[in-house]
Amino acid sequence: MSFIFNFILFCFSIGIIHSEFKQERPEIKIVNDLFRLRNEHKADSAELFFADTVQVYMKYMRNVPKQKITQSDKNFWKAHPKNKFEITAPVQISELSGITIATIYGKEYLDGKDFKNEKIEIKFNRKKKIISYRGFNITK
């Protein structure tokens, strides 16, 4: 009888461990929400994921307030109304000195049909706010 009880207890604990192990990291959820909002061109909503001051945004913007990023995105989407980004591989997460780095591979569509392959690196601070967002063209 105790064997059956122990077996059931063991199976239950494995189920809990398995469900905890499968939980998604908050950074992955943020990345998915961010790209959904960016693909919908909702810059004001996406702004919530950024730190008040972002160290690096894209290639040339350094130490900018998140409001400037929002305005930059709005201007970009006005010029490219069919722009979207499609994630093509699982988001990779790494950590270094309290900074979490999410690496995203995907396709950037400027006109809705032609694309270029890109790697996006997003750095999060300890509060899970984006402090760096960089895009790199890659060849496949």
**For each of the chain's 140 residues, which pLDDT tens digit applies?**
666 655 655 555 555 444 444 568 999 999 999 999 999 999 999 999 999 999 999 989 999 999 999 999 999 999 999 999 999 999 999 999 889 999 999 999 999 889 999 999 999 999 999 999 999 999 86
Q: CA 83, CA 40: separation in Å to the nearest integer?
A: 9
pLDDT at 112: 84
Helix (H) or strand (E) holding 135: strand 130-137
Instruction: Write down all domains in the chain, each with its CATH number in brackets.
Output: 25-137 (3.10.450.50)
Q: Per residue in 47-60, is it b (16+ CB within 10 Å) or e — as a string?
A: bebbbeebebbeee
Phi-psi domain of 41 (left: phi exceeds 0; alpha: psi -120 through 50; beta: other): left
